[in-house]
Structure 1
Amino acid sequence: MNKSIVKNIVSCPNCSCDKYWKVRRGGLLCVKCRSEYRPPPPPVRLSQNQWRTIVRWFVLEQSVSIISEQSGISRYKVMKALQHIRKLMRSQTLDVFQGEVEVDATLYGRVKNRPFRKYTRTKSNSKPDQVIFGALCRGGFVKAKLVSGYDAEMFRYLLKEWVAPGSIIYSSSFKYFPDLKSIGFVHRTVNMKKSIHLGEGYHINGLKGFWGYLKTKLSSRGGIRRERVGLYLAEYVWRYNNRDKSTKEKIHTIIKLIKNTTNI
């Protein structure tokens, strides 16, 4: 038995404890209730070498066609494997942000014959843009989530979940950003037209840079189904947060995530 305690998103079905020992035949032994269980199987049957090949080309941001051609694996299995990887990325949780945090919301998608940045009423037969809310800890990571619309209560709920009380939050003067002082934050609003005159630190340029990176990557896909935008959002959040790692380190991180969460 491997005596090292592992903590990940796989939890015990009996007591929901997320700490376990790895035992023989791919099983897991719960640290709390000592029951043995197995992680869920992957959505597609692939060998470890095939998983490693797919992950390597995925880290290099190659298309499904190129990955299938280079690995000799069918397109269907490659698409299933990549979708599984993105779901694992979406299920990962980061530590609570502390210090100076930038928050903002942006739109993804565009209704024909309508200005991109205006969130107004649309025709009955057209779907509105999707709203992405995000937070960036200066000098650290970024978090982003698809939300149903510009909802001040939803923004407040996400900030209480993502950011530690007492942190300094910078946001634009957009009317949907609530006053956050009442829930324990130091809230500083930034007038985007006059931010250059407000002094050092009064900006949300870091998060604006991430929005530019995200939209460039999403548009390069040539069209994404609305129900899958959340998976691609999770992928590019993960890529941004691991941008300083080498290709070898990224491959190792994803392979470890797959092994710790699925039975391969």
Structure 2
Amino acid sequence: MKNRYAHGSRVSEKKIREIVRYFAADLTATQATQLSGLNRNTVNRFYRALRERILLACEAQRPMFGIIEVDESFFGARRVKGKRGRGAYGKTTVFGVFERDGKVYTEIVPDCSKPTLQGIIRGRVDPASVINTDGWRGYNGLVDLGYGHFRVDHSKDEFARGRVHINGIEGFWGLAKLRLAKFKGLPKHTFHLHLKETEWRYNHRNLNKYKILLSYLRENPLS
């Protein structure tokens, strides 16, 4: 009988469902290997395949609308002494777009310049939206693009002014860093997959992740 999840695989559908269940529960590949009895390389292959399908699902996400919060964050080694500011030395820069009471979108960026950040905003945020930011100059000119724009000035210890704040995206950064810390360091070539997985888990926090992941494999089986 043809395997619905992995064409030509020697791993049974039952065993694949078991691995998907462990992944959905956010167990590490080491834990899944111990519980399933499968070879570690086999588990790694399935975990990577699931993350690649999650990446595709995240990139296909609809544009965000309503009240939007945007912010950048930095992931990786501790800040090098003497190096300050956005794009801190040795760290990976990630830009986030947060739909108030909705979903989040993340993207690794080369810098925090106005063209970089606003290029992503224009591609990911509906023009009728209202955007909340901090005081970074990279957000200057959003009104000229047609967006409503409100700021909080962190440099003056201002973190909220009524409904004007970026607490949602900042809260997501905290959750993301806490989750990714369990991997005790991620190679640069796989960081983007783990980042998008974290985004996906947040966006599907109230849904059955196991069933959604199985549907991804049925639609796009391993080959």
Q: Which structure shows the bigger proportion of residues in helix conformation? A: 2
Gaps of 5+ in 1: 1-24, 28-38, 123-127
Q: Could you list the runs of 5+ residues in structure 2 that have no partner in the other structure?
A: none
* Residue of structure 2 equivalent to 1:57: 22
1:46 Cα deviation from its structure 2 partner: 3.1
Q: CA deviation at 1:117?
A: 6.5
The equivalent position to 2:85 in structure 1, one of 106, 110, 118, is: 118
The amino acid across from 1:177 in the alignment is Y
CA deviations 1:195-249 (Å, max 9, x no partner) are 34x3x2110001000000001111121010011110000110011011112xxx2
Instruction: Look up the match of 2:36.
Output: 71
Query: Aligned equivalents of 1:149 and 1:118: distance in 2?
Result: 11
Describe the shift of the 1:45–1:223 C-alpha distance in structure 2 as closer, same or farther (beyond 3 A): farther
Alignment-derived partner of residue 99 in structure 1: 66
Q: How far apart, in 2, do the equivalents of 1:233 and 1:263 lie?
A: 22
Q: TM-score, normalised by structure 2?
A: 0.89
The residue number in structure 2 matching 1:195 is: 159
Amino acid at match of 2:104: V
Instruction: For residue 96 of structure 2, give the secondary structure of its aligned residue in structure 1.
Output: strand
Using a 3 Å threshold, how does the CA distance of structure 1 residues 121 and 84 change in structure 2: closer, same or farther? Answer: closer
Q: Secondary structure at the match of 1:136?
A: strand
Q: TM-score, normalised by structure 1?
A: 0.75
Structure 1: distance between partners of 2:106 and 2:94: 7
The residue number in structure 2 matching 1:135 is 97
C-alpha displacement of 1:177 = 2.3
Assess, with a 3 A threshold, how the Cα gap between structure 1 residues 208 and 45 changes in structure 2: closer, same or farther: farther
1:256 equivalent in structure 2: 215
Contact 2:79 2:88 in 1 (8 A): no
Bigger Cα displacement from structure 2, 84-93 vs 104-113: 104-113
Q: What corresponds to 1:33 in structure 2? A: none
CA separation of 1:107/1:120 partners in 2, compared to 1, >3 Å: closer, same or farther?
closer
Deviation at 1:72, TM superposition (A): 1.7
RMSD: 2.5
1:168 Cα shift?
Answer: 0.1
Distance in 2 between residues matched to 1:121 and 1:213, nearest whole Å = 21
Instruction: Say if 1:133 and 1:144, in contact at 8 Å, map to a contact too.
Output: yes
Deviation at 1:110, TM superposition (A): 2.5
Q: Name which structure has the greater RCO, CA cutoff 8 Å, separation 6+.
A: 2
Residue pair 1:101, 1:170 contacting (<8 A) in 2 also? yes
What is the distance in 2 between the residues matched to 1:183 and 1:233? 29
Matched, 1:86 2:51: yes
Query: Contact 1:44–1:81 at 8 Å: present in 2 too?
Result: no
**Structure 1's 120 and 163: CA in aligned 2 closer, same or farther, altered over 3 A?**
closer
Q: Aligned AA for 2:202? A: Y
- Once the 2 structures are TM-superposed, how far is the Cα of residue 91 of structure 1 from its aligned partner? 0.9
Letter in structure 1 aligned against 2:50: I
Q: Is the 8 A contact 2:96 2:107 kept in 1?
A: yes
Rounded Cα–Cα distance in structure 1 between residues aligned with 2:83 and 2:218: 42
Q: Deviations over 1:38-83 (max 9, x none)?
A: x9x6796533212211111111221222211211211001001101
